[in-house]
Structure 1
Amino acid sequence: MADSRQTDPAPQWWSRPEGTTADAGREGVPAPRPEDGGEAQAPEPRGEVRYDPWGEQPLQVVDRGPQGRGFRLWQVAALAAGTALLAGGTGGYLGVLAERQSSTRLELPQAGVADKGRAPDSVAGIAATALPGVVTLHVRGASGSGTGTGFVLDQQGHILTNNHVVAGAKEMAVTFSTGESVTAELVGRDSGYDLAVVKVSGVRGLRPLSLGNSENVQVGDPVVAIGAPFDLSNTVTAGIISATGRPVTAGGDKGDGSDISYVDALQTDAPINPGNSGGPLLDAKAHVIGINSAIRGADGGRDGEGGARQGGSIGLGFAIPVNQGKRVAEELIRTGRATHPVIGVTLDMEYAGDGARVGDKGEDGKPAVVAGGPAARAGIKAGDVITKVDGQRVRGGDELIIKIRAHRPGDPLTLTVLRDGRERTLELVLGSANGS
């Protein structure tokens, strides 16, 4: 509908019927004015309702008695309803028109652009520091393909990851946080520690991560994990150190135990999932304190070397302490192999009692205590039960191996041994054996 300034003719359905006028036979209703000098027409039949929108009088209802009252009232009601709808539509249109013509616009309140800098010890600050040095590994082998994580060790292109990420790989590609991908080659790996080193060449601007000291880690310390869970690269999660010195074993698919990894692990509740393996666990200074390696699933199983994938994180993740990772990485880069500390005994892994029992016989019928080895020199005998290492209790053969492998070859150890119902304290120096 046009506004009040327009002069277009009224719509036809609003015009006066041809040849009719308002009823002049009723008091209060004005008589028609003759047009062109003509005479006034005869009055309309009784009971009619006439509305001249262009006249000077408002709507008049002419009541001529009960004969036509119902019909006349219905007509008035219909006309009133139409007028109300017309008025509403007109008001809505004029409102929209007024808003369009107005110079103001609707805008909801919103915070302005702020400084994107973050404190270095915040999760965002740690992530910003570490992400350029974290990579995603895409591995393809005879049994299929998979994804894992690693991080840059030096400017020469060495990258540390888990052994179970690269085991059996025929092809490897490394993708950086920038999206750039290059091929990589294996430098060395060790299944006992579940660690491996790969190398990229011809890449400039590498950002090695700083290595921390896992001896400084305390329960409750905040940590950040970075990896590619389910192939979602550059995923950052946060949590705390839940425990230290957790004995964790993973692998064992080969049956002879040669592929089992033994880790004196850092436990964290930072969400870790398949694909996080090999990624860094960082402290508040963005220093690497661990290499994420395994998770415990809701069914009690673990996701680790060669193990079946579990559903996802339930807040029980395990990382190899960086001190162990550093030593193994240095040996792998230097020689392609890592050494394992040993005491020179064969353990009875079927022993169900508390502690680790030295077997009666070794492999191939050889003595369980290696002649001239560290244990033999310290006075350990077949059948002895080792209950403590440096004062820390061990509950089985796996835990003893883990405690020993947390040290370096040549480190001194104090063992508590139970023999014939009596405890003895023996000192020895760890020997060395080549890993696998």
Structure 2
Amino acid sequence: MSTENEGTEVPPAPSAPPVPVDAPAAPAPAPQGAGPDPVSQEPRTADHGAPGAPAAFAASSGGAAPGATGPAHGGDWPPPPPAMPAYGSGGGGGGWGASYEPPQPKPGGRRGGLVAGIIAAALVAGAVGGGVGYWAAERGDGSDTGSTTVSASNPADLKRDKGTVAGVAAKALPSTVTIEAEGNNGEGGTGTGFVYDKQGHILTNNHVVAEAADGGKLSATFSNGKKYDAEVIGHAQGYDVAVIKLKNAPDDLKPLTLGNSDKVAVGDSAIAIGAPFGLSNTVTTGIVSAKDRPVASSDGTGSSKASYMSALQTDASINPGNSGGPLLDGNGNVIGINSAIQSASSGGMGGGSGQSGSIGLGFAIPINQANMVAQQLIKTGQPVYPVIGASVSLEEGTGGAKITQQGAGGSAAVTPNGPAAKAGLKPGDVITKLDDQPIDSGPTLIGQIWTHKPGDSVKLTYTRDGKEHTADVTLGERKGDS
């Protein structure tokens, strides 16, 4: 099996996520102490299987290869997650990963959750939810104050333009569902999904439905209260994307319009819909805060496989339960799937879920990538991953993605006759750029490669013995998560 793009553990996050060369970004906040507090993910609340906060995705099992500068991403894929890495230095701890809100645990069952990390940060899954209530009282003492009030016109006469948040929500809510997943062991939780096509397919996160993938119970409830049983058509743990299908789907389904995440600009409006902490049909707003944020995540169980994304960052409030829900632009087009948040701490919010709330750092899988994966899953039931055929270190401080001296289990770090080998890459080479995208670590390289398709040609810039070189690489493929 090819060892490309994989490793044995998730390294600490880089002090600052990579950004385009001509527009360096400010360094990301770092957790206090040796690393962020571990985060548990909600039992399928937002970031699949992770009740609560997601933890950093682990690399493949098997341990680091001898002679490697750092843990290599290779061997059995993906590897189990390591201890929660720190994101930069200083700052508060937190977890990455949007998990879904789980129901009250049943006797004898345990809550599961997805833990995610931005390169080296723990991610806490989730979606923000909350409600504002008001109390109004009327009193009349029979006295005439002489005050004259003016009543507004009938609310039914109020028309909201399509471009307003209310207009977008009115159109999108009927096509967004709250997902309840339960495994054979009684574990499960609540997440979100949205109508993908008229055939009844629903797009969501893998971690939202993974518990129910092998004979568990799965249902989807629409905003009008109608509930349908569903089944998992395919799920990709590496991408954290899944497709489920409604049983006895209605004939009047209205799929949400998919946007173009490549055309999204920082500062664009962003609208998130989900079921934070079980509060279905919650709408929150913000902007697209950044693009191409490297995020790694896992459920923190020690046996989970790694998931990587080059994410859209948003300050729209998302919390556990928002996972799998749509992130929309100002016109109501889906630009991403809400998957993870960074939390200030792992402290309690949301009725003892063990997760903190949103602090305005949310992450979504770009819809262009999610759409590509969804089509693969509907067609074949299994994911296909693009690879370069080389094992890279997941350690921070290598100045890029360093090809290890050995692959997992003593295998070759560069697959013989594989894409990297054909392009002339060797162990010890440090990849610093993929096309025009700076690469500062192994996980960043993996996330960028996975935005492409097998057969795509990419230009890799790398250093060897202090000299810079470039090579054109035609990406290979690996099928399935195992």
Shared fold, TM over 0.5: yes
Q: Does 1:425 align with 2:467?
A: no
Aligned twin of 1:112:
153
- Equivalent residues of 1:292, 1:317 under 8 A apart: yes
- Cα distance in structure 1, aligned partners of 2:308 and 2:457: 20
- Cα distance in structure 1, aligned partners of 2:321 and 2:191: 5
Q: Does 1:154 align with 2:197?
A: yes
Change (3 A) 1:202 1:260: same
Higher alpha-carbon Rg = 1
Aligned twin of 1:77:
none
Aligned twin of 2:102:
none
Aligned twin of 2:249:
203
Aligned twin of 1:130:
172
Aligned twin of 2:410:
365
For 2:177, the aligned partner's letter is V
- Equivalent residues of 1:369, 1:375 under 8 A apart: yes
For 1:198, the aligned partner's letter is I
For 1:318, the aligned partner's letter is F
Q: Does 1:144 align with 2:187?
A: yes
The Cα offsets for residues 170-197 of structure 1, whole Å up to 9 and x where unpaired, read as 1111101110011111101011000101
Q: Does 1:402 align with 2:447?
A: yes
- Cα distance in structure 1, aligned partners of 2:317 and 2:464: 44
- Cα distance in structure 1, aligned partners of 2:394 and 2:346: 21
- Cα distance in structure 2, aligned partners of 1:188 and 1:317: 25
Q: Does 1:187 align with 2:233?
A: yes
- Cα distance in structure 2, aligned partners of 1:391 and 1:309: 40
Shift of 1:349: 2.4
The Cα offsets for residues 178-219 of structure 1, whole Å up to 9 and x where unpaired, read as 100111111010110001010002222111111111011000
Shift of 1:260: 1.5
Shift of 1:253: 2.6
- Cα distance in structure 2, aligned partners of 1:168 and 1:372: 38
Aligned twin of 1:285:
331
Equivalenced residue count is 331
Counterpart mapping for 1:307-318 below 5 A: 310-318=355-363
Q: Give the secondary structure class of the aligned counterpart of 1:381.
A: coil
- Cα distance in structure 1, aligned partners of 2:357 and 2:147: 46
Q: Give the secondary structure class of the aligned counterpart of 2:198.
A: coil
Q: Does 1:374 align with 2:415?
A: no
- Cα distance in structure 2, aligned partners of 1:266 and 1:351: 22
- Cα distance in structure 2, aligned partners of 1:229 and 1:253: 21
Change (3 A) 1:105 1:183: farther
Shift of 1:353: 1.8
Q: Does 1:230 align with 2:272?
A: no
Shift of 1:299: 2.8
- Cα distance in structure 2, aligned partners of 1:145 and 1:215: 34
Counterpart mapping for 1:27-176 below 5 A: 108-114=149-155, 115-141=157-183, 142=185, 144-169=187-212, 170-176=216-222
Higher RCO by CA contacts (8 Å cutoff, separation 6 or greater): 2
Q: Give the secondary structure class of the aligned counterpart of 1:183.
A: strand
- Cα distance in structure 1, aligned partners of 2:158 and 2:475: 51
- Equivalent residues of 2:288, 2:314 under 8 A apart: yes
Shift of 1:435: 3.0
- Cα distance in structure 1, aligned partners of 2:382 and 2:428: 33
- Cα distance in structure 2, aligned partners of 1:276 and 1:325: 16
Aligned twin of 2:387:
342
Q: Give the secondary structure class of the aligned counterpart of 1:376.
A: helix
- Cα distance in structure 2, aligned partners of 1:106 and 1:316: 48
- Cα distance in structure 1, aligned partners of 2:329 and 2:386: 28
- Equivalent residues of 1:268, 1:315 under 8 A apart: yes
- Cα distance in structure 1, aligned partners of 2:346 and 2:398: 22
Larger fraction in helix: 1
Q: Does 1:416 align with 2:461?
A: yes
Q: Give the secondary structure class of the aligned counterpart of 1:167.
A: helix
- Cα distance in structure 1, aligned partners of 2:221 and 2:436: 45
Aligned twin of 2:112:
none
- Cα distance in structure 1, aligned partners of 2:321 and 2:359: 15
- Equivalent residues of 1:351, 1:357 under 8 A apart: no
Shift of 1:408: 1.1
- Cα distance in structure 2, aligned partners of 1:143 and 1:346: 38
For 1:362, the aligned partner's letter is G
Shift of 1:273: 0.6
Aligned twin of 1:241:
288
Q: Give the secondary structure class of the aligned counterpart of 2:199.
A: coil
- Cα distance in structure 2, aligned partners of 1:195 and 1:246: 17
- Cα distance in structure 1, aligned partners of 2:291 and 2:354: 24
- Cα distance in structure 1, aligned partners of 2:367 and 2:224: 26
- Counting aligned pairs with the same residue, the percent is 53
Match for residue 276 of structure 1 among 305, 319, 322 = 322
Where does structure 2 lack aligned partners over 5 or more consecutive residues?
Answer: 1-140, 348-352
For 1:206, the aligned partner's letter is L
Q: Give the secondary structure class of the aligned counterpart of 2:232.
A: strand
- Cα distance in structure 2, aligned partners of 1:295 and 1:116: 36
Where does structure 1 lack aligned partners over 5 or more consecutive residues?
Answer: 1-95, 302-307
- Cα distance in structure 2, aligned partners of 1:248 and 1:290: 14
The Cα offsets for residues 310-352 of structure 1, whole Å up to 9 and x where unpaired, read as 3111000000000000000000011111100100011122463
- Cα distance in structure 2, aligned partners of 1:126 and 1:276: 17
Q: Does 1:215 align with 2:254?
A: no
Shift of 1:118: 0.7
- Equivalent residues of 2:389, 2:414 under 8 A apart: yes
- Equivalent residues of 2:231, 2:247 under 8 A apart: no
- Cα distance in structure 1, aligned partners of 2:299 and 2:401: 19
